[in-house]
Amino acid sequence: MIMTGDIHGGTVFKVGNDVYIVQRMLGIKGGRNGQVKRLRVKNIVTGSTCELGLDMGEKFEDVQLDYHKMKLSYIDGDTYVFIDQESYEQYELTKEDLGDNAGYITPEDDFEVEVCFYEGKPVGMTLPIAIERTITYCEPGVKGDTSGKTFKPATLDTGIEISVPLFCEIGTKIKLDTRDGTFIERVK
Amino acid sequence: MKIDLLCRVIDNYGDIGVVYRLAKALSALEPTLELRLIVDGLSSFSALVPEIEPCREEQRCRGWEIYPWELPKGQARQRFRAYRPRLIVEAFACGKPAWYEELVFDPADPEPRTILNLEYLTAEDYAAEFHLFRAATRSPLVRKFFFMPGFTEGTAGLILDRDFAATRERLSDPAGRQAARLAAARRAGLAFSAADAARLWVLVFSYERDFRRIVADLAAYGQQRPLLALVAAGRSSSPFFAAWEEAGRPFPAHQIPFLRQEAWDELLLAADVSIVRGEESLARAALGGRPFLWHAYLQDEAHQLVKVQALLDCMRPHFAPEDHAVLSSLFLAFNDRRVDSPASGGGEALLPFLERLPSLETGFASFARKLDSLGDLALHLLTFFREIG
């Protein structure tokens, strides 16, 4: 069984007979006893998308998936081409297939990802929980503010924007959580 | 119509207090409604409703069937098989006991089941965003929706049970208020005089904290207007009395024993100013329409401040800007802590709040009218179940 807390971008789970992959976490809100989540999912059989809510009280059936370690070889428009590190076979996934995860990877990365297959077809990708990226644009850092409590927008080398603490600068290497895109720490 | 209410007790009496109030409200609205309550803390429930016996496998109270969370195999479980869950309220994403989960997700059961996840009260915008939003379950026959209490349009509002509404009515009549206050005090075990009734009553029910500043401000205000403190049993009692003793007992302060819900409501509504905690008492204080100070449940990384700010934002239209500034400063300072302990907090200023009571009363009354206008959460819930069939 998959617990609600284990569901994040790229997770595949079953709702009835439908098999969904999480494309985007639209909102995670905290209460006293857990969280409520709103997410955009894609039915990996029909290709249709919808929004779903999740609370902490549910669990879902596992889906039989195969995972293969791959590297992103190149990006051609909205197509992401991965190469299997053992067989050297190439597999394509669209930006939509990858959802939020598309914003965390580039062909220059030295880490591997796991492409997941459902009934022989590549349907998505899972990432390491924490990855390192570089800030390519943000407003100048505020010296002395090391609290990490106040945030500003920053663009990463993959092109996506996330929130980072005020002390970050252009060129700062950071560690972020790929489950929800939150800043973890500055890489020293 | 038959509804199952599920509740796990997380924080003493708050969660079960909401479920008890909801059950009362639903039964009053729909006397033929059959309610089954499945509760994991029957001893907490029993403290609120002494007729309930904590150790019984099954019992009836006020016409409801009441079962423990871990229901032993036996006749009671058989009854659930015979009358399967169809309409279910999970209080605060409490989940379900394994035996109940089995019934709800029984693949052999062809009938649809509907679950409402009655979430925690918050003034944050997401309450309206999630209210009645579909939540996923693993079966297409089990439909689940978020059901969000709240302070704004687009949410389910708050529970306005008849007992509470009647008590509020009685205590809002200026002609009878003093007598009603004395009666409320009597029911709480306090024999007050007419002079006591004329004092400003300050009810204290918060998490543990440093009360020295609060006591000093109450003492200072007491020079202008005689007051007394009613200190509820629980986590705030000991630190409050420690600060009160340290200050030389500057005003009368009375320990309130644990009260059943109806008596607690009455005392809360009888007070002129209250310090309340959590969500259930906040809801009652807000609906009561009298000045209150909220001590929010402590959250990681002081996230309670986000919740306090959201409440202040909801209250803003009901207050003059200078009153709202005093309110904001007090609420935020009172809640600015990383831990609940007798040494935490202490940076708040209650005196400016007390000195503005006449105009603040107008604002709190206006806020309560706004909450009334959102309607009764219990009625919204019944309507939803009726409509969804």
Query: A33 and B90: CB-CB below 8 Å?
Result: no
Q: In this model, does residue B257 exceed pLDDT 70?
A: yes
Q: pLDDT band for position B118 (50/70/90)?
A: very high
Residues with Cβ within 8 Å of B370's Cβ and at least 6 positions away in sequence, in order, are B151, B318
pLDDT of residue A99: 86
The whole-angstrom separation of Cα B90 and Cα A183 is: 34
pLDDT of residue B205: 97
C-alpha dihedral, B359 to B363 to B368 to B370, nearest 10°: 150
Contact B212, B346 (CB under 8 A): yes
Contact A67, A116 (CB under 8 A): yes
The domains of chain A are located at 2-60, 66-126, 130-186
Task: For chain B, give the mean pLDDT.
Answer: 94
Question: What's the topology of domain A66-126?
Answer: OB fold (Dihydrolipoamide Acetyltransferase, E2P) (2.40.50)
A30 contacts on B by Cβ (under 8 Å):
299, 303
Query: B135 and A58: CB-CB below 8 Å?
Result: yes
pLDDT single digits (tens) B153-178: 999 999 999 999 999 999 999 988 99
Find the residue in B nearest to A51 (Cα). Answer: B134
CATH code linked to domain A2-60: 2.30.30.30
A54 in contact with B, Cβ within 8 Å: yes
pLDDT single digits (tens) B338-353: 999 999 987 899 999 9
Sheet with A151-156, side-by-side order of all strands: A161-165, A151-156, A130-138, A173-177, A182-186
B322 in contact with A, Cβ within 8 Å: no
A56 contacts on B by Cβ (under 8 Å):
93, 95
pLDDT of residue B73: 85
Query: B126 and A17: CB-CB below 8 Å?
Result: no
Helices (H), B199-344: 212-222, 237-246, 261-270, 280-288, 304-315, 321-335
pLDDT single digits (tens) B10-54: 766 888 999 999 999 999 999 999 999 999 988 889 988 889 999
pLDDT of residue B44: 87
B112 in contact with A, Cβ within 8 Å: no
Contact B381, B361 (CB under 8 A): no
C-alpha dihedral, A134 to A138 to A142 to A148, nearest 10°: -60
The whole-angstrom separation of Cα A29 and Cα A51 is: 16
The structural domains of chain B, ordered by start, are 2-158+375-388 (3.40.50), 162-373 (3.40.50)
Query: B126 and A29: CB-CB below 8 Å?
Result: yes
Chain B nearest C-alpha distance from A13 (Å): 9
C-alpha angle B194/B199/B203, rounded to 5°?
A: 115
Tokens in use for A30?
Answer: 């905290």
Q: Name the residue among A15, A52, A57 with its Cβ closest to that of B90.
A: A57
Task: For chain A, give the mean pLDDT.
Answer: 88
A34 in contact with B, Cβ within 8 Å: yes
- pTM for this predicted structure: 0.87
The whole-angstrom separation of Cα A23 and Cα A91 is: 19
Q: Which overall architecture, per CATH, does domain A130-186 show?
A: Beta Barrel (2.40)
DSSP B93-155: T----HHHHHHHT-TT--S-EEEEEEPPP--STHHHHHTT-EE--S-TTEEEEEE---SSTTS
pLDDT of residue A31: 66
Query: B137 and A15: CB-CB below 8 Å?
Result: yes
B295 contacts on A by Cβ (under 8 Å):
none
Task: Give me the interface pTM, i.e. the ipTM.
Answer: 0.72
Q: pLDDT band for position A135 (50/70/90)?
A: very high
pLDDT of residue A144: 67
Closest alpha carbon to B122 in B291, B314, B259, B372: B314
Q: In this model, does residue A148 exceed pLDDT 70?
A: no
B11 contacts on A by Cβ (under 8 Å):
32
